[in-house]
Structure 1
Amino acid sequence: MAFEKGKPKPVNGGRKKGTVNKVTADIKEVITKIVEQRIGELNADLDTMSPTSKWMILEKIMKFAYPTLSAQKIDADIKHDGKINITVNYTTPDKDGKAGS
């Protein structure tokens, strides 16, 4: 039964909370299949790109694989004596370029 203007919405009308839109689910499925089929090509293309271009592409596609984090506000009353100690240790790289002692 269609909704009629001026009458209240039926109690059980509409989709249930959390129900996925069928069109959205279908589109996501198609996109997933395309990406799965082209993943080897994507990796080959990334290997030929400059580091800047590579990271720009990865940044754009990562949002589809990882959730976006939101900023967190922390209220704190931090007390200190005003002194800050910083220690820097220098190491000499070994023959493989890794940090040594």
Structure 2
Amino acid sequence: MSLQIIPVKGIPEIKTGDSLSDIILKALDENNLSLQDEDILVLAQKIVSKAEGRFVNLTTITPSAEAYHYAEITQKDPRFIELVLQESRSVLRCRPGTIIV
């Protein structure tokens, strides 16, 4: 068994309501690729969130004390960290620039 990583070119900018499956299947076809048994597709969470319309205006977010704590360590916006905490079960590791949840 071997591992091949094949980028799929031609994926457009994703908008709210887009069907990721349709877009991916079209791009695979345009790249003369087809899915086989045991293939694994890897997607960035960002395109999934965009398709789902998961946009948040940071000005509407009030950070918790915990968010401020992790924001100081990561050097990130505490409002962003608050959203990360709301979508996570636990913080596994934290350092400047990185939070693993």
Normalized against structure 1, the TM-score is what?
0.24
Q: Kindly indicate whether structure 1 or structure 2 has the higher relative contact order, using CA contacts under 8 Å at least 6 residues apart.
A: 2
Quick check: which has more Rg, 1 or 2? Answer: 1
